[in-house]
Chains A and B, each alone.
Chain A
Amino acid sequence: MKREARYRRKEGIAGREIAGESFLIPVCGTPVDMNDIFVMNPLGDFIWRRLDGERTLDAIVDEIIAEFDVASEQAGADASDFVEQLLRNSLVEALP
């Protein structure tokens, strides 16, 4: 995963906050049911909101370090893992 790369939330994914949980709900595609809903923890939610196609992953890692009490290496690894999961599930796209 390239840390200088930029990623953008895909269109057609609705973010919802319900009863203290953050959900990602695909709007198009296969019929949506519980199997298609994604749940994010607070760190996931923090990263998701910043995947705007403008910030690099590195910049987001810096923000994580500033916000959460976490070492730089750990923050980088967590952010990369998370973005990889998002890519695997077609929830974000990498910008060229």
Chain B
Amino acid sequence: MIPGCEQATGMDDDRFWRDLSRRVIDRRVPFTGSLALTHRCNLACAHCYAREEAAPSCELTGGQWRQAIDAVREAGCLYLLLTGGEPLLRSDFPGIYRYAKESGFLVTVFTNGTLANAGIIDLFRELPPYLVEISLYGASAAVHDRIAGVPGSFQKTRQAIEALLAQGTRVRLKSVLMTLNNDDLPAIEDLARSLGVKFRFDPEIFPTLSGDNGPVALRVPPGRAVDLEMADPARESEWREFLDQFRGSRDGDGLYNCGSGLNTFHVDPQGWVYPCLMVRNARFSLLTSSFREGWQQAFNDFRKVAVPDGLPCRGCDKKLLCGYCPGFFAMENGSESIPSAYMCRIGHLRFEKLYSSAHGG
């Protein structure tokens, strides 16, 4: 037997990670999870889905989050996202973050960056996160602050990005595409490029978690969204590679064909564990059940639901391109079997674009 201590990628890497992913799925290991430490936020973004904030008194305490971290560690989680609301709004964020890092997770933090003071920057230098993903809604204060609802936020966000980059923290920027910023998108991309960071944006805007459809009015027309996406040749070829890689892979009989409740989970500020952020119809509470018990029992049924007969998505060849998600359907239409007309249209347009340019059309 050869003793092994190899860098994971130094091994026969692809094969190792492929085998591991298969085992993670076969054994239903909760490999990837997110903890929404709070739904409170210091900004008031126009499109926010979590805007009805829970009172701080309803949030898990720092000690309870540590217990949750222990539990998901024991269950096999490797990728852990700390998110919100705005997670840095919690004064005990540094302690929770440190605990997660020292417990051996690859920790990502989603933040608006405005509260990243010197202490936070130092913390990320001492214990580097896997990734800090910062939301940027415009390339100027005029656009960004209008969406964020708080004057001065652009300036603070930008300072945080620069301070993190200066010390070598891995930062990625992301945006939500909406009526209020779609003209600014090329400028945001230029800004990201000039900072040397990766950037992604998403045209999906959700109703709020409590069912308010207000934010949906901010969606840009599907054609505009896809034009902006495909205007960047690099992004277009990423889409094409993705399509080539997964096209023709078996669809499965279940309504859910993603990792939701299979190897991903989401914990809300009050300790409710969901299969993912989007799926709200199965859950258990960390206050009344252990993670292991809940994970084994609470998500079985929803994973067994078959694709309903009338669902047009069955066998659809655009499924890889529309962000297919029955949880999203339920949020938007109150039913997992009524697709989002908006995302369906986007899927079709992406397909047309990729297909026509692949054929010189």
Contacts and interface: CB of A to CB of B under 8 A. Distances in A.
Decide whether A and B assemble into one complex: yes
A4 B128 CA distance: 36
Contacts of A14: 102-104
Nearest to B21: A19
A62 to B, nearest CB: 16
Contacts, number: 105
B3 A79 contact: yes
A38 B8 contact: yes
Most A-side CB within 10 Å, residue of B7, B29, B73: B7
Contact of A18 (B5, B11, B29, B128): B29
A79 B1 CA distance: 11
B3 A16 contact: no
Interface residues of B, number: 35
B128 A39 contact: no
Contacts of A16: 73, 78, 104
Nearest to B13: A34
Size band of the interface chain A makes with B: 35 or more
B5 A32 contact: no
Contacts of B106: 25, 32-33
A91 B5 contact: yes
A39 B3 contact: no
Given A18-B31, A18-B76, A89 B5 contact: yes
Contacts of A34: 8-9, 17
Contacts of A68: 1
B23 interface: yes
B355 interface: no
Contact of B6 (A20, A32, A38, A47): A38
A35 B7 contact: yes
B229 to A, nearest CB: 26
A31 B169 contact: yes
Contacts of B31: 18-19
Q: Is the interface of A mostly helix, strand, loop or mixed?
A: mixed
B76 to A, nearest CB: 5
Interface in B37-67: none
Contact of B3 (A17, A27, A81): A81
B104 A15 contact: yes
A81 B4 CA distance: 9
Given A31-B168, A37-B8, A39-B11, A23 B3 contact: no
Interface in A15-60: 15-21, 23-25, 27-41, 43-44, 47-48
A76 B103 CA distance: 31
A85 B44 CA distance: 51
A93 interface: no
Interface string B111-143: 000000000000000111110000000000000
Interface in B298-350: none
A40 B169 CA distance: 28
A44 to B, nearest CB: 5
B104 A85 contact: no
Contacts of A85: 3, 5-6
Nearest to B73: A16
A86 interface: yes
Nearest to B6: A39
A87 B106 CA distance: 23
A92 to B, nearest CB: 10
Contact of B4 (A30, A32, A39): A39
Interface of A: 12, 14-21, 23-25, 27-41, 43-44, 47-48, 68, 70, 78-79, 81-82, 85-86, 89, 91
15 contacts: A19-B20, A19-B23, A19-B24, A20-B23, A27-B101, A33-B130, A36-B7, A38-B6, A39-B6, A41-B4, A43-B1, A68-B1, A82-B4, A86-B5, A91-B5
Given A16-B104, A27-B101, 5 more contacts: A14-B104, A16-B73, A23-B8, A27-B127, A31-B170
The 10 closest A-B pairs by CB, nearest first: A14-B104, A41-B4, A82-B3, A31-B128, A19-B23, A78-B3, A25-B104, A16-B104, A18-B76, A37-B8
